[in-house]
Amino acid sequence: MLKNEIDKLAIYIAKQYDIYAPVLSKDELIVKGVNNIDNIDYSSRIPDNTFKQLFLPDQEELFSWKKDKLIKPDLSKVKGKAAYGMNVLDLKALGLFDLVFTNDPYYLAKRENGLVVGISSGAPADYEEYKIFSMDKVENVLEHIPFDIFLEKNKEGEFKVYSGSAKGRKVLRGAGIDVFENIQFAGLIQEEGPDQRMLKLMPIVKGSEDNPVWDEIAKICTACGKCSTACPTCFCFDLLDEAGADNTVSKKRVWGNCFYPEFSQVAGGKKFVDTVKQKLFFWYEHKFSRTPAEYKVPGCVSCMRCFKVCPVGINIIEVLNKLEKKND
């Protein structure tokens, strides 16, 4: 399928949804709202920021109280957004979010009213450079990532189109596209079973609390929290009460960040995760031990955004390699 037909698809989608897609701006690839579909980047490179804001906003009101009256939002009116051009790694992260927020009506409203369009142009250089977990070719992973529509771009710039849901098929047909392959989602775990590196890392990271690696990187980590903000799989949140006008109090959900000073603080001031060393261990343990134990998939998709944003160059691959080496 030629690019002009994909453009027609994007125009059709833009009539029904606000489109958010990777856009090249100077040297940065940024996910943002798109008014002109010509600006969409189809390289499938990993953008500097993530799509997670579309499904888990950095702050959202859950409900409010006015005197003794509870005011709840009408979730059926949540406006659908199209996450357009999600690369395979970000779709894996979305798959983890779908598991974590499986009973969360606020998240589900955004997923159900929105549209997810994936993109791949083979195995982008960004994926090849860094590998934490297995990186199968696109055709092997499509059954194991969530999407409504997936666009696979070949070297000649032509596209093969896949549908991953009834919603995706409806949109494709509405856009006049009848030639596509249907993919049935078979869960996040591939047929050969859970990722072997994940299984190996789980006990190593869990038992590493006293490992000198944490002392080493705690000496340089500034606890800025950029790694967590940039990470597509970091999903922790806090709940805040915010007083507004007219005796209204809002209950808000805001992104949590285990590197921030207030993290894990309880009444009386005690913090259960306090030092930088504890925070680093906690962050890695969540991704490589607790999330795999709970959801059977890694809490990391190897996108390397955490390394790219880290002001002191802490490299997650090197940290994991050091932890593994000390256990060999």
Query: Are the C-beta atoms of 115 and 85 separated by less than 8 Å?
Result: no
Whichever of 269 and 313 has its CB closer to ligand SF4, that residue is 313
Closest CA to 231 of 140, 157, 309: 309
Candidates 159-167, 196-204, 216-224, 235-243 — which segment interacts with ligand SF4 by CB under 6 A?
Answer: 216-224
- Considering only residues 19, 31, 149, 310, which one is a binding residue for ligand SF4 as defined by CB under 6 A? 310
d(CA 214, CA 280): 7
Q: Nearest approach, Cβ of 155 to ligand SF4 (angstroms)?
A: 27
Q: Give the H/E segment covering residue 243.
A: strand 237-243
- Considering only residues 260, 314, 315, 324, which one is a binding residue for ligand SF4 as defined by CB under 6 A? 314
Q: How many CB atoms lie within 10 A of CB 228?
A: 22
Handedness of CA 239, 244, 249, 250 (dihedral sign): negative
Question: Does 223 interact with ligand SF4 (rule: CB under 6 A)?
Answer: yes
Q: How many CB atoms lie within 10 A of CB 304?
A: 21
- Considering only residues 306, 319, 320, 323, which one is a binding residue for ligand SF4 as defined by CB under 6 A? 306
Residues 6+ apart with CB under 8 A from 141: 88, 92, 190
- Considering only residues 272, 274, 311, 325, which one is a binding residue for ligand SF4 as defined by CB under 6 A? 311
- Considering only residues 13, 119, 201, 316, which one is a binding residue for ligand SF4 as defined by CB under 6 A? 316
State phi, psi for 166 to the nearest 5 degrees.
-65, -35
d(CA 136, CA 149): 19
Question: Does 227 interact with ligand SF4 (rule: CB under 6 A)?
Answer: yes
**182 burial level (CB within 10 Å; 0-12, 13-18, 19+):** exposed
- Considering only residues 95, 118, 225, 292, which one is a binding residue for ligand SF4 as defined by CB under 6 A? 225
Q: Nearest approach, Cβ of 279 to ligand SF4 (angstroms)?
A: 8
Candidates 15-23, 150-158, 170-178, 297-305 — which segment interacts with ligand SF4 by CB under 6 A?
Answer: 297-305
Binding-residue pattern over the window 246 to 285 for ligand SF4, x denoting contact by CB under 6 A: -------------x--------------------------
Whichever of 108 and 218 has its CB closer to ligand SF4, that residue is 218
Site residues (vs ligand SF4, CB under 6 A): 221-227, 230-233, 259, 287, 300-306, 309-312, 314, 316
